Amino acid sequence: MAKSMRNLIFGLVFAFAAIVGSLPVHALTDSEIATVQKAERWLESVTTLKARFVQVGGGGQAEGVMLLKRPGLIRFDYAPPSKVLLVSDGVLVSFVDYDVGQLSQWPLFDTPLAYLVRTELDLMAEADIDQVRDGNSEISFRLRDPENPEQGTITLQFAKAPYRLLGWRITDAQGQETAVALADLDINIDLPSNSFRFERPVPPWETDR
């Protein structure tokens, strides 16, 4: 797989936070708190979600299908010619590169993706939140984990009518962004848990045995 694609996928999982760690904590107004809480209630109402996604960052662009099932399960199936998969089983986030036969894994709650799949949400207690924007048709706000600033920041974006998750941006230590846009959302549909299983990749040198 090309280096730009690897950068793109890793940008979705991690944002390293030398710059993030220096961000000041922002005291939210009552109106900003209400904006965040409305988004939180919407996220809590979503038990499953299926959507198309387009991901841009790291010098590349990719698209595919995202599946989400709370608690803990999330999957990004990348469309060809990509031969990669990003999936969480509720404990580990696995990055599978079938092209080179490589599997990389991290604890789910050491990544920004955890904000999307927690069992219960209390964003005001769990995260430092700033940059709350409430426009005519969209809202957004930025989160960072005060205990683990090395995770980076994730900015969630929502449409107002109908209310739905539009996507998010993850920012790394150098200020580089990975943006994910969602479309064609199907919410609270039947998604079997085995939808989040995957075949372990086989290194190329083992296929010749």
Angle among Cα 62, 60, 163 to the nearest 5 degrees reads 50
Can you give the pLDDT at residue 36?
Answer: 93
**Per the structure block, which two tokens stand in for 133?**
């924007």
Six-digit token string for 67:
């599946």
- At residue 47, the pLDDT reads 93
- CATH number of the CATH domain containing 169: 2.50.20.10
pLDDT in tens, 42-101: 999 999 999 999 999 877 888 999 999 999 999 999 998 888 899 999 999 999 989 888
153 belongs to a structural domain: yes
Which pLDDT score, from 0 to 100, does residue 193 have? 86
pLDDT at position 15 is 45
In a domain? residue 94: yes
Residue 8 lies in a domain: no
> Which pLDDT does position 13 carry in this prediction?
61
Q: What is the pLDDT of residue 118?
A: 84
Would you state the pLDDT for residue 14?
53
Question: Domain for residue 33, yes or no?
Answer: yes
Q: Is residue 41 part of a domain?
A: yes
Query: Is 40 part of any domain?
Result: yes
The pLDDT value given to residue 8 = 56
Domain assignment present for 29: yes
Residue 201 counted as domain residue: no
Low-confidence ranges of the chain (pLDDT < 70): 1-26, 148-151, 173-174, 204-209
Domain extent, residue 129, equals 15-190
Tell me which long-range contacts 102-109 makes (C-beta under 8 A, separation of at least 24): 102/201, 102/203, 103/200, 103/201, 106/13, 106/14, 108/72
**Number of domain units in the chain:** 1
Query: What is the pTM assigned to this prediction?
Result: 0.82
Looking at residue 145, its pLDDT comes to: 74
